Structure formats: C-alpha cells, structure tokens
Chains A and B, each alone.
Chain A
Amino acid sequence: MKAKVYVTLKPGVLDPQGKAIQHSVELLGFGGIADVRQGKYFEIALDNSLAEDQARESATRMAAEVLSNPIIEDYRVEIEA
C-alpha cells in the first residue's frame, strides 16, 4: 500500500521558485501560462496489513505534523492499494 502526499504553498504565499520556473518555460516559447506554483510530493510505502482508513489516518498525521508547515502550506493525501 502506498500513501501519496502533495504539499503545496497556500494561496497568497510568495513562491519565487515558481516564478523563476514560469519565466524559464516562457523563455522556451511556451505561452498561455498564468502561474506556476512549486510544491512537494512524497511517496510513503506502508505495510500492506494496514486497513485503508488506518493508512489514511497515519499518512494524514504525517502530512500535518511533519511534511507540511500549516502556516504556509496545505496538503492532500491519496492512498493507493
């Protein structure tokens, strides 16, 4: 079983890395880009004996307490069997 955790900056928090990436892809000729926001992605391999709701609870706590900083970031958890 696998937990996928996506950590993204809250709307309104400055993302200078995203801005620099946007600038670079625009230089390559890609148009129509309104905004680029950079985030983090975690894959956590979990013991297959865990029930899905246990896995979700555990991954959500990890996301809330360690993987994200609630002052500046949001998170989303997906569980894959």
Chain B
Amino acid sequence: MKFGVIVFPGSNCDHDAYHVISKHVGQPVDFIWHRDTDLSSYDAVIIPGGFSYGDYLRAGALARFSPVMNSVKKFAESGRFVLGICNGFQILCEAGLLPGALIRNRGLHFICEHVFVRVETGDTPFTNELRRGVVLRVPIAHAEGNYVCDDATLAALKREDRIVFRYTDKDGHATDAANPNGSRENIAGICSRGRNLMGLMPHPERACEDLLGSSDGRDIFRSLAATLAAVA
C-alpha cells in the first residue's frame, strides 16, 4: 500500500503526516506537490494541516484550485481513500467533496490544545479499528474550525451515519462546554457518502507518540492501514 501527502504552499503538517505513515504505519509514502496531477500509484492520500495559500480569502478556498485537486476528486470517485486533516478538512469542504463549511471559532481565538473526541461510528475506513463511543485525546490547532451546515445536510449526515467524531468531555459527553469552537452539534469530523473520504479538524498525526502527550491518533492510521491491507 502506498500513501501520498499533498503539499500546498503553506502546508505545515505535511512532515508530521509523512512521519506517521513511514514510522508508525510502516508503509511507503511520498510528498505530492500541489502542481502534480498523477495519483495513479497511490492507495490513499492525506491532505495535511497548515495554512495553504496563507488562508487568503477563506481557509482552504484557494487550494481547491490547485491542479492536484482535480486529481483528488477523481481519486476519491474511484473509491480510493482521502483523509483531510484540519486545513485538509477545510479544503475538502471548499472543494465540495464534503458538505458544510468551517467558519471562525465562536470565541474568535486560534485554539491550540488537546481535546477529547468521541468516535461516532466504527463503520469507516478510518475508524474500523475503533468502536462507537470510544473517546480519543487529540490536539486541535485552528481558528476556523466551527463546522456549519444547513438542517437538510445535518439530517442527511445523521441518517447516513456520516458524523465520525464529536467533541466531548473526557467521559464522552458532547456538552457545549466541551465544544471548543462552536461546531454544530459538536461535529469534529465527517465522511463522504461513499465513506472513503474523511475530514476532521483534530490532528491525529500529532497524537501518535506518548512523548507528544497522546498516542490515541494511531488508531485512525491503523484503521486506514487495515482497510488498505484488506482491499489489497
């Protein structure tokens, strides 16, 4: 199985993602410059965190016009796996590959801290090694992580079991106090209708080593690796 990490001007979590795939998943991984368009040799691509195009206009808005994004769209349509982390989630929403939008945090601040998220479904390629209800401790680092969508979209996300993570307290209660940014219904991550594309605001790639405060993020990459091993 081969992974790619897409690099936009302004990406800054690309090396973290690369490190996790090479060290913890133990699989080959390449950086993919945003002007490249050939994704044919990859089984999964990660759109990493950062400030693509300096967050100009809106976070993620300009990255969607990079040449690689057309390829990402076809890649996802072909059923291969796409994981958008933080700015990657914002890019996937701006590109229309995931529904909804990420707006300014309700408290205005850039928030950089460890939070708790609850796994809402184990039925995704990214959470199949986890169970619904499991609480993970992972960091967030964003100013625009406030997930918004209209009522019809929210109803569809629920009906189709596409809400993958919610912000909770350490005991797994999705309270308003545990919602760091004002996201609708504490949503921290969602997947596509085909389930092969997921976006989330927390950074699991920064939570793969106890030395960094948590290794809970490894289960997400372990799930993806298990999925890829099963389809190979």
Interface hits, B70-119 → A, CB 8 Å = 93-94, 99-101, 103-108
Q: Please, which residue of chain B has its CB at the minimum distance from the CB of A42?
A: B57
A residues 52-75 in Cβ contact with B at 8 Å: 66-67, 69, 71-72
Q: Classify chain B: how many residues form its interface, as a range.
A: 20 to 34
Minimum Cβ distance to chain B for residue A45 (Å): 18
Q: How far is the CA of A52 from the CA of B102 in the complex (A)?
A: 35
Whether B19 is near chain A, meaning CB under 8 Å from some CB there, is no
Check if A66 sits within 8 Å of B61, measured CB to CB.
Answer: yes
Q: Are A69 and B94 in contact (CB under 8 A)?
A: yes
**B174 contacts A by Cβ under 8 Å:** no
A-B interface contact total, Cβ < 8 Å = 35
- How far does the Cβ of B21 sit from chain A's closest Cβ, in whole Å? 31
Q: Does B58 contact A (CB under 8 A)?
A: yes
Residues of B within 8 A of A66 (CB): 57, 61, 65
Contacts A69-B94, A71-B101, A72-B101 given; does A13 touch B148 at CB 8 Å:
yes
A67 to B108, Cβ gap below 8 A?
A: no
Out of A14, A67, A69, A71, which one reaches B146, CB within 8 Å? A14
A14-B182 CB under 8 A given contacts A66-B57, A71-B149: yes
Minimum Cβ distance to chain A for residue B223 (Å): 29
Chain A residues contacting B101 (CB-CB under 8 Å) are 69, 71-72
Residues of chain B with a CB closer than 8 A to A71's CB:
93, 99-101, 148-150
7 CB < 8 A contacts A-B: A13-B148, A14-B104, A14-B182, A17-B108, A67-B57, A71-B99, A71-B150
Kindly list the 4 A-B residue pairs having the minimum CB-CB distance in the complex, ordered from nearest: A71-B101, A16-B108, A72-B101, A16-B106
Known: A14-B104, A14-B148. 16 other contacts (CB 8 A): A13-B103, A14-B103, A14-B106, A16-B104, A16-B106, A16-B108, A66-B65, A69-B58, A69-B94, A71-B99, A71-B101, A71-B148, A71-B149, A71-B150, A72-B103, A72-B148
